[in-house]
Amino acid sequence: MQPPEVHIKQEGRRVPPSPALSGAWTYPVALILLAVAGSAVRFAHLTSKPFWFDECFSVELARLGWGSIVRVIWWREANMSLYYLLLRAWLHVAQSEFFIRSLSVVFAVATIPAICWLARLLFDQRVALFSAALFSFNAYNVRYSQEARSYTLFVLLATLSAGFFVSWSGNPSRRNRIAYAAVSILAVYSHFYALLLVAAQWLTLRLFGAPHPQDSKPSDRAASNHRPWKAIAIGVSPVLFFVTKTGAGPIHWIHRPGWRDLLAFSRDVSGGSNWLLPSIFSVACLAAAAPCAKRLLKSNAGFATWRIQFLLLWLLFPIILTVGFSFLRPVFLPRFLIFCQPALIILAAAGIAQLRRFWLVAPAFGVLLLLAVQGIFFVYGHDYDDQRDDSGEAVNFILDNSRPGDAILFHIAEARVPYEFFRSLRAGENTANPTFSRTLGPDILYPHFGAGLDYSDFKARPIPEILRSEFPSHSRLWVMFMYNQGGGAGRTTAMLTRIVAESFPHTECRDFPRVEVCLYTRDQEPEIRGEF
């Protein structure tokens, strides 16, 4: 991706774009090879880990009818709404597990030329290719490239937002202003935490000024500084209203971070499986900032300082703010801050580029890539966030052992989501088709407001009287519990256990990671296949 030619005032003089690498073909060929390598490490083992609740939720929400999907998004799931809409279109092509997750790979691979473009705007082709290489083999990004969630789309749009921010700051043209505002708005709809990126960009101009061309008029610069913020504020106003309406309810489960969580995040975001890689990243970032260390707190200190100031604000401001706010209400979650990763990578690449001699750069960069590949192999068999449930095995266990006439209910409405997803895989049918038959498995008692999932199923609460009226029609009842630890879920569990035991006195249960399956029967039935 060729950046626009922008001449920027640097340390009191005009600085032309940096010279190209030797050979006109070297830069694009290297970028293509990095994109191919980045694709390979992300497609490898793409389905080796089972889908978990959040991924199932993405797919089932995207499969809803338009009326239901709009109401669910506005009611509770506006975050990542852009991803849900893109996934909905993606599912019209195919619905295998590999294909569903490949959408995240597409966004991640697209970020490779995007981060290269941004680094080239800020530095030169050398730093650009170093940044693209570090990103291509970053294990943290590989991990979220292999998940049907919005995180790689979030990183892509955050990188593009930063690129257009730099372009607009150096050349406040109408085109750059519109591109910056549009991409930043889309970034917020990919994840609400993109508001922190926009805030960091605003702070950069507020604290350190903008590297405008010398021949631009002061009046034009002043006007351009305000127009994007107004457009962005209007574009994200529904998000702000949604946050005001729902409060912290959707993220009430986040725990207050400790210093161990911060250290783990620094290790993970660098892509390391141990502390060696983040240590090298830290040294490289310090090397990048060292030449302008005395001017880091000054405004209008020149472009060479401004770019470091911007990258440091992008990297540190969201982390400091979320950690500080977490003393009031926990909001710090590592994967929500994945959009800070491009700033870290570009700073590290700029630090490595300080080594001008090839015999120093080659071994240093080689060690970094070896450690990065080690992190990738770690990711193939592990998760950075240990929240993956085994709802797939639980659903298959129910379907393997169910009989005609059995019924099933879910202790919370959301627990039906993975059941529907894995049942659709088992049926081998396209659940985006309205004629899809949902007869596989036990009859669903709760939540159940139609042939398939709709808006009402996401808001339902179990009513004892209605459930009791359905029990006489069935001799066996399956109950699927998910994330059943305290709070409202615990109270619901106690209520369901009590009323179900009135009609089905015999119980056998089997535990799966974060999931529990219980079979309630009127008589003792030891012949069930599989061990409880």
The pTM of the whole model exceeds 0.85: yes
Unique residue bearing structure tokens 């489960």: 253
| pLDDT above 70 coverage of the chain, percent | 88
Residue 438, pLDDT score? 54
CA dist., res. 58 & res. 97, Å (int) = 12
Q: What is the pLDDT of residues 181-230, one digit of tens each?
A: 999 999 999 999 999 999 999 999 999 998 864 444 554 555 455 579 99
Contact partners, residue 217, CB within 8 Å, separation at least 6: none
Contact partners, residue 11, CB within 8 Å, separation at least 6: 302, 303, 304
Residue 78 has pLDDT above 70, yes or no: yes
Residue 12, pLDDT score? 39
CA dist., res. 140 & res. 153, Å (int) = 14
Residue type, 66: W
**In whole angstroms, how far apart are CA 238 and each of 185, 188, 413, 496?**
11, 11, 26, 38
Q: Are 27 and 20 in contact (CB under 8 A)?
A: yes
Share of the chain residues as helix, strand and coil, in percent rounded to the nearest 5: 65, 5, 30
Mean per-residue pLDDT over the chain, rounded:
87
User: If DSSP codes are grouped into helix, strand and coil, which group holds residue 27?
Assistant: helix
CA dist., res. 296 & res. 305, Å (int) = 6
State the DSSP code for 9: E
Residue 103 has pLDDT above 70, yes or no: yes
DSSP collapsed to 3 states, 347-370: HHHHHHCCCCCHHHHHHHHHHHHH
Residue 62 has pLDDT above 50, yes or no: yes
Q: What is the pLDDT of residues 157-178, one digit of tens each?
A: 999 999 999 999 988 889 999 9
CA dist., res. 476 & res. 470, Å (int) = 12
CA dist., res. 440 & res. 258, Å (int) = 46
| pLDDT above 90 coverage of the chain, percent | 64
Residue 456, pLDDT score? 82
Q: What is the pLDDT of residues 387-442, one digit of tens each?
A: 789 999 999 999 999 999 999 999 888 889 999 999 999 887 544 444 444 568 89
**Chain centre distance of CA 434:** 29
Q: Report which of 295, 296, 344 is spatially closest to residue 319, judged by C-alpha positions.
A: 344
510 strand-pairing partners: 517
Q: What is the pLDDT of residues 123-134, one digit of tens each?
A: 999 999 999 999
Sequence ranges of the domains in the chain: 8-44+78-381, 391-521
Question: Residue 529: pLDDT band by 50, 70, 90 thresholds?
Answer: low
Residue 439, pLDDT score? 63
CATH of region 391-521, choose from 3.30.460, 3.40.50, 1.10.3470, 3.40.1170:
3.40.50
